Amino acid sequence: MFKLKLKKKQRKMIMKRILYSVCAVLFFFSFTYPAMAASNQAIHWGFKKGGNGQQAEAGQELDKLLADNGAFYKGSSKEKVLYLTFDNGYENGYTASVLNTLKKEKVPAAFFITGHYLKSAPDLVKRMNKEGHIIGNHSWHHPDLTQVSDEKLREELKLVEKETARLTKQKQMKYLRPPRGIFSERTLKVAREEGYTHVMWSLAFVDWQTNNQKGWQYSYDNIMKQIHPGAVILLHTVSKDNAEALPKAIKELKKQGYRFESLDDYRKKQKRISA
C-alpha cells in the first residue's frame, strides 16, 4: 500500500514537472516568436515629403530602426547640405550626360548599381569611379532582399563588390540601397555585419517610367518642391527628364545656398558627433 502511494506521488511530481516545462516553453515563445517573426517583416520605404525648408519625416519608429542599425535617409536639418544619389539598374543612354553635368558643376554623387549594370555598362562604371563618385551596392539580381536567405543576401552583395573591384580602383563597398526600397530588421543587420550602411532617401518622385517622360520641367519642379536641408536625393539615370533638368536644378540649388557633399562626408560628420 505504501509503495502504491509512493508511485502515485512520483507520477504526480513527474506530471507537474512536465506541465511546468510546457508552460515555460509556451511562455518563452509567446515573447520570442513574435519578435523573431517581426525581424523579417518587409518594410516598404516611405515618408512624409519635405519642402519649404522642412525635412521629410519617416516617423519615430522608422527613424529608430534605421538609427539602431547605422542606416540613414537624411542629413542634418541645420545645414543646407544635399546628398545626390542615383539608382542604376540598367543603362538607357543618359548616364553620360549626368556625369558630364556632375563634372562641370563639381558635384559628388553616389551611384547604386546592379549586376546587370556592371555587365552591360562597364565603361560608365569605370568613369564613375575615375571621376570621384561613390559606387554603391544595389544587389546583383535586384531581388526583394527580405525574401532571400542570409546566405543569399550576402552572395548578392559580394558579387557586386567583386565585379566592381575588378573593373575599378574601388576595392571596398560601404553603402547599400535595397532594391525597391524594401528591407527588414533582419536585412539591415545582415548588411551591417557585412560592413554596409543602408542609404535610403528623403526626396524622390516617379521618374523611372521611361515610356512616360514628361519633360525636364517635371523633374525640376519635383526636386525644387521637395528640397530641404540634409536631403538625400534619389534619381534614376534612365530618365531623360532628369538628365535634362539636372544642370538647371543644381545651379538653382547653389543659388539658394545649398552645397553638395558625398556620403563619405556624411559618415565623417556622424563619427565626429559620436566621438
Q: Which residues are catalytic?
A: 87, 236
Residue at grid coordinates 527628364 = 241
Using alpha carbons only, how large is the chain's radius of gyration in Å? 25
Residue at grid coordinates 553616389 = 110
Cell of 122: 562597364
Q: What is the DSSP string of 29-45?
A: HHHHHHHHHHTT--EE-
Q: Please give the Cα distance from 176 to 199 (Å, whole number).
A: 6
- Enumerate residues 6+ apart whose C-beta is below 8 A from 5: none
Answer yes or no: are the C-beta atoms of 81 and 227 closer than 8 Å: no
What separation in angstroms does the CA of 96 have from each of 109, 178, 189? 14, 24, 35
